[in-house]
Structure 1
Amino acid sequence: MPHTLAYIPTPAPATPFAVGETVEVLDREHVVLSVQTIKKVTRKKVKTDCGREWMLDGEWFDGESSYPFPSIRRKA
C-alpha cells in the first residue's frame, strides 16, 4: 500500500502560549503523542516539561532549526 509523505500543517495559535498552559504534542498527521505543560516562554520559543523547545507557531526546535513535526497545540 503506498504512503503519502505529506503532513498536516498546524495553524499558529491565535494568542501566545503561556507558562502553565497544557499543550498536545502532535505527529505529522495530528495524532496526539503526549500531553505536556509549558514551563518557559521567551520572545522566540517555548519550552515544555519534557525538555523540548518549540517555536511560537508550535513547530519543534532542535537548537539549530525548526521542523513542522512534531508540533504542539493547545489542549481543548
Structure 2
Amino acid sequence: MSARSNWCNTHRGPTERAIAVAVIEVNSGPGGTVWSCPDCVARYGIVPLDEQSPDHPASRIQYRTPGSPRDADGASGGR
C-alpha cells in the first residue's frame, strides 16, 4: 500500500484520518491506494480494506450489505 493520505477520495476533500478502502493495480508503474474518511465509510457503507472478504478483489470498493449489524443505524460505531 502507498503511504497514508490526508485526502478522502470519496468526498474529494481533505481529512484528518483516512482509511484504505481499495488498491489500484496497474500493469506498469506504481499502483496506489483509494482512501476514504471515517464519515464517508459510515455514510456509504464502505468496508475498510483490512476488513474485506478475502475473495473480494482489492481493486474494487466493497460495500456493506443493507441490514448488516454494524450498519443497521447507518453508523460505523467507531467515529
| Short-chain TM bin | under 0.3
What's the TM-score once normalised by structure 1's chain length? 0.27
Larger helix proportion of the pair: 2
Q: Please report the TM-score for the alignment, with normalisation by the length of structure 2.
A: 0.26
User: Which structure shows the higher strand fraction?
Assistant: 1
